[in-house]
Chains A and B, each alone.
Chain A
């Protein structure tokens, strides 16, 4: 297949001995938002973890702007902290021992400006009023905004969002989707959003990739791709 893009992913991640690979895909992502959909166990989260360098590859390579982040044949593996790949976990993984502001400042390289920049990012996700709060006191929607601000504040070269709306009820979800759309339009980086709900990303994603059983089942590009894609990739 024609294979080039800002982010190139041609990988295999093996599962248990004797079982099919957990993931085997060849995908290229340009700058902009791509939605990754599929049923549970399709390999969506494995794909994000692989791009973030958190799971070992069995074969293949991942390239960002032409430079290898991973290349199994050449023995190249770039550690997660050197990849510049931001990941918002489904669990959000906010640091419970730090304040909201310190969470957001954690990934800011210039420590002297960390506080001011953290405030700025919190303002952009409309969560500046939460700056001094402790993480365990946040609601689901608030925590989601903070996790997004934290990932963006680290200025990633690739942004990965794993089920960013799953813990939210519908009104909160709509508000966050609208805010996220505004933020992502200002970013010129490949952004992958894993979701169960195609409707959530219809206004965000220009492309939708459907994964089933660790492989690419569907790949739709252009406006309306999200709404055009149907089952079996959409499960709810």
Chain B
């Protein structure tokens, strides 16, 4: 059992879920109840990682994050080290994979909040930001937490994008999913089976949690 890779997977998935949570919930709050062509395009772009082949996303990110790309060169100037093939790239890859799940769940949860409650808050003098913070997000919380749980599970199992932009460097960027791939390639079947079983069990448990949270949301307060 490659415990180091397993621990790295948890760290990467946790950080990625935080990043996807901020971006996904923020985007959901902006997009919900404001239908526009630009908003639909933004939504489609953020949801694309769910349907695009990881190699396509990985290739696009390779170009964007390389030293020649705008984001990659700015990162290297700011941090002093390249972004590609670093632990930060693994976090970014997992966050991009998790983002559509968080966004979709957050949008559904926010859409599900009775608009009359937001209107009532506004007539009581609350600014749109306060309405969002004190009424909409608390009421959407079970759905948002379900989305974050799904996102965490997705980040934990992320493979393709991570391989493309973070590589498979033992001790640096190798996550559990990549370690399983390595173990299979090297014929270490027992190690691969152990880690695969553990990841499958974790993913199933997380999906059960997400389902339970979704049911709580439907049942209301």
Contact = CB atoms under 8 A, between A and B. Distances in A.
Q: For chain B, give the interface size range.
A: 20 to 34
B119 A81 contact: no
B116 interface: yes
Contacts of A85: 123
B123 A106 contact: no
Contacts of A80: 119, 122-123
Interface in B168-221: 220-221
A34 B124 CA distance: 21
Contacts of A156: 123
Interface string A73-110: 00000011111111101010111110000000011010
B124 A106 contact: yes
Interface string A155-196: 010000000000000000000000000000000000000000
Contact of B120 (A79, A87, A109): A87
B116 A89 contact: yes
Interface string B92-136: 000000000000000000000010110111111111100100110
Contacts of B116: 89, 91, 93
B139 interface: yes
Given A89-B120, A136-B221, A96 B139 contact: yes
A52 interface: yes
B124 A154 contact: yes
B125 A93 contact: no
B217 to A, nearest CB: 12
Contacts of A83: 123
Interface residues of A, number: 27
Interface of A is mostly: loop
A64 B119 CA distance: 20
Interface in A42-73: 52, 54
B138 interface: yes
Contacts, number: 67
Contacts of A91: 114, 116
A150 interface: yes
Contacts of B138: 97
B124 A97 contact: no
A93 B128 CA distance: 17
A86 B139 contact: no
Contacts of B220: 96, 136
A106 B118 CA distance: 12
Contacts of B135: 95
A52 B123 contact: yes
Interface in A92-141: 93-97, 106-107, 109, 134, 136
A94 B119 CA distance: 11
A46 B120 CA distance: 15
Contact of B125 (A95, A107, A134): A107
Contacts of A94: 120
A85 B125 CA distance: 9
A163 to B, nearest CB: 13
Contacts of A84: 125
B124 A79 contact: no
The interface centre, meaning the residue of A52, A93, A106, A154 with most chain B CB atoms within 10 A of its CB, is A93
Given A81-B127, A106-B124, 10 more contacts: A79-B122, A81-B125, A91-B116, A93-B120, A94-B120, A95-B139, A97-B138, A106-B126, A136-B221, A156-B123
Interface of A: 52, 54, 79-87, 89, 91, 93-97, 106-107, 109, 134, 136, 150-151, 154, 156
